[in-house]
Amino acid sequence: MPSTDHFKRLLVTSALPYANGAIHIGHIAGAYLPADIYCRYNRMKGRDVLYICGSDEHGVAIMIKARQEGTTPQAIVDEIHPLIKSTFKDFGMSFDYYGRTSSDTHAQTTTEFFRALNAKDTFVTKTDEQLYDPEAGIFLADRFVVGTCPNCGHENAYGDQCENCGTSLSPLELIEPRSTLTDATPELKETTHWYLPLGDFQERLETWIASHDDWKHNVLGQVKSWLADGLRDRAITRDVPWGIPIPEKEARQAGINPDGKVFYVWFDAPIGYISATREWAESVGQPSKWKTYWQQDDTKLVHFIGKDNIVFHCLMFPAMLMAHGDYVLPEDVPANEFLNLEGQKLSTSRGWAIWLHEYLEDFPADLLRYTLASTFPEAKDSDFSWKDFQARVNNELADVLGNFVNRTMTFAHRFFDGVVPPLSNPGGMDLDVIAQLKEFPTTIGASYEQYKFREGVFHTINLARIGNRYFNDTEPWKSAKSDMEKCANTIHVSLQICAALATLMEPVMPFSAARLRTMLNLDSEYRSQDTASTQSIWDHAGSCYLESGHTLNPAEILFTKIEDEAVQRQIDILAQRSSDAEPVTGDKSFADGKDEIVYDDFTRLDLRVGTILSAVKVEGADRLMQLEVDLGFETRQIVSGIAEHFAQEELTGQQVVVVVNLAPRKIRGLVSAGMVLTAENRDGSLRLVSSTGENGAVVS
């Protein structure tokens, strides 16, 4: 298990969100919520944690958006940055500092970082020809030039990609290019740039990556494939008017004309973590404190990102840090895969997304935090659906966790005047639950240490399940009438579980945890008393620390169930917004998943490969086709409802997969002995499930 013990402090970052649009749930499930859970947990473990993020405000996409809206890039980021920042706050993101890359500190930090590398002759210069707009007087980066796609002939392909056929392009590949700024025909003009020769770092990166073979498989897979391809030089500067200007003196010395040149956004964005840390240090009145986190070896640096950012955080930024020499390297980069929405890929251009600031107008933050954390795409892509959201809130948060807290609090007020009753002569069930409770901080913590957040959340809700079961089994509604000491024991122990949950649920549901602490009348001093010298608040959570006689506050409902209409409204909004955008292929969604089966259920099916020998339409039945299928060991007649989808002649000779042990039945007077498997697309069209196996081969 990766340990944090030999590190003195944690420096945690979340990928800088790009300030050209609002935050959606895909972002949250990737780089933000996992990091927030991790930081909150580690703070409660008593560790020194600094959590840094900020808006990435440079790059061509922001320039394009500014042009589309008839404004300046600065105006765009001045509008988007505060929106992102306040949305994060409302969602409970516990950044220690949230910066922005248009700040002066960032420009200064980037320039200093560049100079340190330049002084060591890290960079090389290269001159090549690029498209230049003679009317606007600037070089045309990817999206500032359109032309005809050399691949498909689409007339409005961009300089970096054809949106019609998806081919990646460079501006020079476009046929009849024209400037999107002035419509002028661009000319070729020489330009010189600095490049980071990543190949020089290949060996050091390989050695370093090899020492981190405990990283997530999806991360190592991508990194190793890049390394296997060999790392190439990468330009760190470019000819666009929005970004951090390159330093003039060094440029002239290198034979580069600095006019209109800025640092490439991939180079300045990760330095944003460092500049935001400097701003944090200033804000706490210890201006050099940032160096403690970035430049002392006993810091554990962890980057939380989505999978589209792996190469930048595992190879390029580390190469920059290696080249500098004063900085720590990331200790882990637990990137997540992608989150899908209602079975489809998220797409902001198609309106297929849930915007976080809109969600927060309708529901509390914790409900989404819980649902996402339960389904994080930790090892592979996962799916968010509104029905699943409703089911988790109603069946887990309301019925399990909320119900347990509510019945415990209700009994404490009704029978014990709102104070914690004593534990006297505890029985076997009481002692058993107390013993189980002690294990939970370690169990949940072990999951979080390994970035297994889904597992940690599962254990957390499981503690509430154990509480509910204990409450049911000890039947305090009966003992309240006959055996008050037994009833007191049940409520005493149940309150201890509530107090544990008030701590252990905090990383995932900080707002609800705070409300539970208010009900239980717990402040942080109380949560850690008696153990000030040895135990953290987290480890203390399982120790039954509520004292008999402690006064409780009034109970309130922790989680309200979500009605069908509320969820349907969200589904309708999503459908409406995506139909307003460009059409989606397929006009309905796939069928819902079926209930889980065990392996034995599957093995009861006898699936075989067969070849259709003949296909004849059944007279008087539009849908039915009479098939003769060669199964190797015998030939079968099968009547199949596929006649509207396939012509007779296209079926003959096709290899298919057949369920051969389906009981024969008569259809329109014809015996059908088996079933041919098909796949149904969203538009209702059918495809045969084919195989290249021999006739009679078992499919399993």
Q: How far is the CB of 165 from Zn ion (least distance, A)?
A: 3
Least distance to Zn ion, CB of residue 160, Å = 12
Q: Find the binding residues for Zn ion in span 87-116 (CB under 5 A).
A: none
Q: For Zn ion, give the closer residue by CB, 148 or 648.
A: 148
> Shortest Cβ distance from residue 151 to Zn ion (Å)?
4
Q: Tell me how far apart the alpha carbons of residues 123 and 251 are, in angstroms, rounded to a whole number.
A: 12
Phi, psi of 175 (to 5 degrees): -90, 135
Site pattern 202..231 for Zn ion (x: CB under 5 A)? ------------------------------
Q: Which residue, 152 or 605, is less far from Zn ion as judged by CB?
A: 152
Considering only CA atoms, give the Rg of the chain. Answer: 31
Is residue 347 at the binding interface for Zn ion, with CB under 5 A as the rule?
no
Of the pair 75, 165, the CB lying nearest Zn ion is at 165
- Find the shortest distance in angstroms from Cβ 156 to Zn ion: 10
In angstroms, give the least distance from the CB of 236 to Zn ion.
30
> With contacts defined by CB under 5 A, how many residues of the chain interact with Zn ion?
7
CA angle, 13 then 19 then 22, to 5°: 95
Query: How far, in Å, CA of 303 to CA of 219, rounded?
Result: 12
Instruction: For 518-586, give the DSSP string.
Output: HHHT--HHHHHTT-TTT--HHHHTTS--PPTTPBPPPP--S-PPPPHHHHHHHHHHHHHHHHHSSPPSS
Amino acid occupying residue 356: L
Q: Which is nearer to Zn ion, 156 or 685 (CB)?
A: 156
Q: Which residues contact 463 (CB under 8 A, 6 or more apart)?
A: 437, 440, 497, 500, 501, 504
Our CB check for Zn ion shows the closer of 173 and 233 to be: 173
> How crowded is residue 563: how many other Cβ atoms within 10 Å of its Cβ?
11
Shortest Å distance, C-beta 45 to Zn ion: 53
- Helices 428-449 and 453-474 cross at an angle (nearest 10°) of 170
Q: Is 194 helix (H, G, I), strand (E, B) or coil?
A: strand
Q: How far apart are CA 214 and CA 233, in angstroms?
A: 28
**Min CB(157)–Zn ion separation in Å:** 5
What phi, psi does 131 have (nearest 5°)? -70, 135
Give 2 or 153: the residue with its C-beta nearer to Zn ion: 153
- Kindly state the smallest distance separating residue 155's Cβ from Zn ion, in Å: 10
* Distance (Å) of CA 29 to CA 17, 153, 338, 519: 13, 38, 8, 30
Distance CA 100, CA 278 (A): 12
Nearer residue to Zn ion within complex by CB, 151 or 531: 151
Beta bridge partners of 355: 24
- Of the candidates 40, 23, 25, the one whose C-alpha atom is nearest the C-alpha of residue 368 is 25
190 in helix, strand or coil? strand
Q: How far is the CB of 278 from Zn ion (least distance, A)?
A: 44
Return the number of the residue (124 or 152) whose C-beta is nearest Zn ion.
152
What's the closest the beta carbon of residue 169 comes to Zn ion, in angstroms?
Answer: 8
Minimum distance of Zn ion from residue 171's CB (angstroms): 14
Nearer to Zn ion, 148 or 553 (CB): 148
Which residue in 518, 422, 365 sits closest to 33, CA to CA? 365
Closest approach of Zn ion to the CB of residue 573, in Å: 33
Structure tokens at 585: 């292929």
Q: Nearest approach, Cβ of 153 to Zn ion (angstroms)? A: 7
Give the span between the Cα atoms of 476 and 174, in whole angstroms. 77
DSSP state of 32: I
Of the candidates 56, 81, 206, 62, the one whose C-alpha atom is nearest the C-alpha of residue 143 is 62
Nearest to 10 by CA among 277, 301, 275: 301
Each residue 132-171 as x (binds Zn ion by CB under 5 A) or -, in order, gives: -----------------x-xx-x-------x-xx------
15/174 with CB nearer Zn ion: 174
Nearer to Zn ion, 154 or 452 (CB): 154
CA angle 60, 62, 290 (to 5 degrees): 90
Q: Residue 410: which H helix or E strand, with range?
A: helix 403-416
- Nearer to Zn ion (CB atom), residue 131 or residue 157: 157
Q: What is d(CA 272, CA 234) in angstroms, rounded to the nearest whole number?
A: 19
Q: Which residue lies nearer to Zn ion by CB, 169 or 244?
A: 169
Q: Shortest approach of Zn ion to residue 149 CB, angstroms?
A: 3
| Cβ distance to Zn ion smaller for residue 164 or 182 | 164
Residue 4 in tokens: 């944090």
Which single residue is written with the structure tokens 């093995």?
603
Q: Which two tokens stand for residue 285?
A: 């009145």
Residues making contact with Zn ion (CB under 5 A): 149, 151-152, 154, 162, 164-165
